[in-house]
Amino acid sequence: MPHKPKSKEKIMLYTNLKHIETAADYRQIISEQPNVMICYGRMGLKSISVYDIMEKIESRYRHVKFYDMEFDNPESKAVTETQDCKEPDELPYVIYYKNGEAVHITSGQQTEHQIVTILNNIFGKKTMTAHQ
């Protein structure tokens, strides 16, 4: 039987991304940050590949804030309650927010090319760094 976390048990993904742990954090982030990408997932292969891509490209998109949130965290229900988002068909579930509104949603594994294309279309081209 799968482990069901107790309501006060801390759930954490093991990534180098910033974590969203509570519904209040989620609401604050999307209301205060103009450009946000949040990946809701687990520590499974498909989700891990998206986390890895996000970590790899994060420094190129300084005008976008990158976060993850554990899909099985009861607090993640705020996502489907706050936005008109349906339950995902497949994980990871990635939502791109512009000025507090969900403007693009993907479900399932994505390639780096797919993610970069979405970021460029929604938020503009990547930020160039000194060594590029």
**pLDDT of 4 over the 80 cut:** no
Query: What architecture is the 18-123 domain classified under in CATH?
Result: 3-Layer(aba) Sandwich (3.40)
104 DSSP β-pair partners: 96
Residue 67 in tokens: 């976060």
What span, in angstroms and rounded, lies between the C-alpha atoms of 108 and 100? 23
- Per residue in 57-116, pLDDT (tens digit) is 999 999 999 999 999 889 988 877 766 666 667 899 999 999 999 999 999 999 999 999
Residue that the structure tokens 């103009």 belong to: 34
**pLDDT of 20 over the 60 cut:** yes
- Is residue 104 within 8 A of residue 122, CB to CB? The reply is yes
pLDDT of residue 83: 60
The predicted model gives 44-58 an average pLDDT of 95
The predicted model gives 34-54 an average pLDDT of 95
Domain ranges of the chain: 18-123
pLDDT grade, residue 126 (50/70/90)? Answer: low
Residue 36 in tokens: 């946000």
